[in-house]
Amino acid sequence: MTDDGQKPADILGQARRAFSPSAADQARVRRAIDGSLAGSMADSAPPPARRASGWGARLLAAGAIAAVSGGIGYWAGHRAALREISPVVVVAPSVPSVAPSRPVAPTAPLVAAPPVAAPATPPHHHAGHSARHEVESLAPVAGESFTVEVRALRNAERALRDGNPGLALAFLSDLDRQVPHGELTEERDAVATLARCARGDHPLGVDLGGEFIERYPASVYRARVQQACAATDPPASGDSP
């Protein structure tokens, strides 16, 4: 290197070339960043400040009542929904190290990014590096219900993105059991509608997409629902399974 009398400028130029990233490096890191951002938006959603302990206590009470009284019948239905997708924790078999590819999604995310409290140090484990679906098995304690909702909706949307609407519906069922009266009702409804349409549900005389739009005429998910349900919502097209 330096045995032929090279000047410092030459060495620096060579080092600069060697230090520079390739276009593939730039694209790869970008995909990882997009994946991390998509995951962390849902992960780091803080509970709204107005959610006080009284609200959490009401949720706990509602959860307890649902579990003890009406929960039995509900649980049976829930198990039926889960039957096709056991085990509950699913690791996608061939998910790329980063997900999704840029742009994250051409459509509006189902879980809007709340103001995110930045951690003091950058994370070492990026959500985008893993496509693991998590299911909360314990009832949320007071103040955590919003986080549980966000996480479940994120999991459901990932399942949808992975082409598994049944799993998405199971996540929603689980969420209904854990947080029966949550805040994100429109989002829940949107994911449920998208999942049912993706699964090909066409209940007799029911226009899934149309009903969603009727309930939420100004919804930001309107276009997405319309698109997803266009193929499965012909009038009186058949029976629901």
Residues that bind another protein in the complex, under the rule CB under 8 A: 1-3, 5-6, 8, 10-22, 24-26, 28-30, 32-33, 36-37, 103-104, 116, 118, 121-124, 126
Nearest-approach distance from CB 21 to another protein, in angstroms: 4
CB closer to another protein out of 16 and 50: 16
Nearest-approach distance from CB 15 to another protein, in angstroms: 4
Q: How many CB atoms lie within 10 A of CB 129?
A: 16
Nearest-approach distance from CB 234 to another protein, in angstroms: 35
CB closer to another protein out of 3 and 214: 3
CB closer to another protein out of 106 and 217: 106
CB closer to another protein out of 12 and 64: 12
CB closer to another protein out of 111 and 135: 111
Nearest-approach distance from CB 115 to another protein, in angstroms: 10
Nearest-approach distance from CB 141 to another protein, in angstroms: 28
